[in-house]
Structure 1
Amino acid sequence: MRHGRTDWNAAHKLQGCSDIPLNNEGRQMAEEAHKKYKDLKFDVCYCSPLIRARETAEIFLRGTNVPIIEDKRLHEMSFGIYEGVEHVTDKPDCSVYTLFKDPVNYVADGGAESIEQLYARTGSFINETLKPALAENKNILIVGHGAMNSSIICQLKNYPLKDFWTHLQGNCEVLKLI
């Protein structure tokens, strides 16, 4: 699941690791997801430590006994000096533009995280936490972010890097992977 909307989402600002809270619309989205997906049962929730993901998980899982475990490997991709920049997909001179338009040729700069670094971090989570829990037949909810979730989806489904954004989730959308 991807977190609910924030003021930065609404302003088309690149959030990355900036710890931006949900706005009222984001809280309402999480509330609606709580109702929409009420029949889904989870044994555990792994969550990004960023407040927008944590708050989404708390609203979504309200009234259940599902433990929420923060895992720093699930934070959003770092965009370095580009965090807070508006409309990066309209700025071809911005290196992060390439990440969104042509991820295969993205070269991180300005303190941003590379795709290889992102995959190493989330791959560690997949191999050390997710796969062992799945081997125990646990139903797992991961609450995170656009790029971070896309990296997990691509790795689990063996999608090529050129398709990195193909399965980008909407805010508060649940996607069943396994």
Structure 2
Amino acid sequence: MSVKRLLIARHGETDYNLKGLLQGRSIDAPLNETGWTQAEKLSSYLTNYTADKLYCSSLQRTWQTAKPFSEKHQLETVREKGLDEMDFGEYEGIPYMDASDDLKKLKLIWQSGSLNTPIPGGESPVEVFERANDVIQRDIENRKSDTLVYVLHGRLIRILLSKWLGYGLENMHKVEHQNGAVNHLVYDDGFKAVYLNKTDHLK
């Protein structure tokens, strides 16, 4: 299998992002005006690379972000439920500050190594990693293209990169992400980072 390049972008801004509301798997919010601008700038940046398909989650904030690039280059956009954001359970849709105390306690539990502990009513980091990693590993094995482009979600990106790059899921909080940012990885019997959380194209 040839070396694969993975370009993993975070979706553009939604009003949930703007207002500091938790936005997980059950929140299907559209991009706001800023998000569409970020999507256009992301499209311009991705033009530097050749891909034959785009991959995103089933949630509209990812496939809307992919839309300018897919339309410009007439690329198929594959929507995968396995690439949806983490299910934040009972915290979905509420202000982050209202849940911050509970989430800090959960973060400490995960940092201690209890990564099968789910968010109340939601998913655990291990569950999220396994479902998303299965999708991407299948894509890597089956695609002939050397470049795979994904538009994903913030927490999901943290979970995937922390595991793939050897930080450990317990350190996923150390992975930075911003709306419209790009992470460039190469895969050759394992993942290596070329750059992470690149935002120059958004300026």
Q: By the TM > 0.5 criterion, same fold?
A: yes
SS at match of 2:78: strand
Hey, what's the Cα distance between the residues in 1 that align with 2:63 and 2:127?
23
Contact 2:91–2:99 (Cα < 8 Å) also in 1: no
Q: Which amino acid aligns with 1:41?
A: T
Contact 1:122–1:151 (Cα < 8 Å) also in 2: no
Once the two structures are TM-superposed, the CA of residue 46 in structure 1 deviates from its matched residue by 1.1
Once the two structures are TM-superposed, the CA of residue 90 in structure 1 deviates from its matched residue by 6.9
Once the two structures are TM-superposed, the CA of residue 15 in structure 1 deviates from its matched residue by 0.3
Pair 1:88–1:130, CA change in 2 (3 A): farther
Of the structure 1 ranges 123-132 and 141-150, higher mean CA displacement relative to structure 2 is found in: 123-132
Hey, what's the Cα distance between the residues in 2 that align with 1:23 and 1:154?
29
Hey, what's the Cα distance between the residues in 2 that align with 1:47 and 1:109?
23
1:104 paired residue number: 111
The answer to whether structure 1 residue 91 and structure 2 residue 95 are counterparts is no
Aligned residues with identical type, % of pairs: 28
Unaligned runs of 5+ in 1: none
Mapping for residues 61-80 of structure 1, pairs under 5 Å: 61-80=70-89
| Larger strand percent | 2
Hey, what's the Cα distance between the residues in 2 that align with 1:99 and 1:66?
40
SS at match of 1:164: helix
Q: Which amino acid aligns with 2:37?
A: Q
Q: TM-score, length-normalised on structure 1?
A: 0.86
Unaligned runs of 5+ in 2: 1-8, 187-203
Once the two structures are TM-superposed, the CA of residue 114 in structure 1 deviates from its matched residue by 0.6
Contact 1:103–1:164 (Cα < 8 Å) also in 2: no
Once the two structures are TM-superposed, the CA of residue 41 in structure 1 deviates from its matched residue by 1.8
2:166 paired residue number: 158
SS at match of 2:149: strand
1:27 paired residue number: 36
- Once the two structures are superposed, residues 23-64 of structure 1 have per-residue CA deviations (whole angstroms, 9 ceiling, x without a partner) of 111001111222233212222211101010010011233310
Once the two structures are TM-superposed, the CA of residue 127 in structure 1 deviates from its matched residue by 2.7
2:126 paired residue number: 116
Q: TM-score, length-normalised on structure 2?
A: 0.77
2:14 paired residue number: 6
Once the two structures are TM-superposed, the CA of residue 147 in structure 1 deviates from its matched residue by 1.2
Once the two structures are TM-superposed, the CA of residue 169 in structure 1 deviates from its matched residue by 2.2
2:191 paired residue number: none
SS at match of 1:63: helix
2:184 paired residue number: 176
Pair 1:122–1:45, CA change in 2 (3 A): same
Contact 1:89–1:97 (Cα < 8 Å) also in 2: no
SS at match of 1:30: helix
SS at match of 2:173: coil
Name segments (4+ residues, structure 1) moved above 6 Å: none
Matched residues, number: 174
1:82 paired residue number: 91
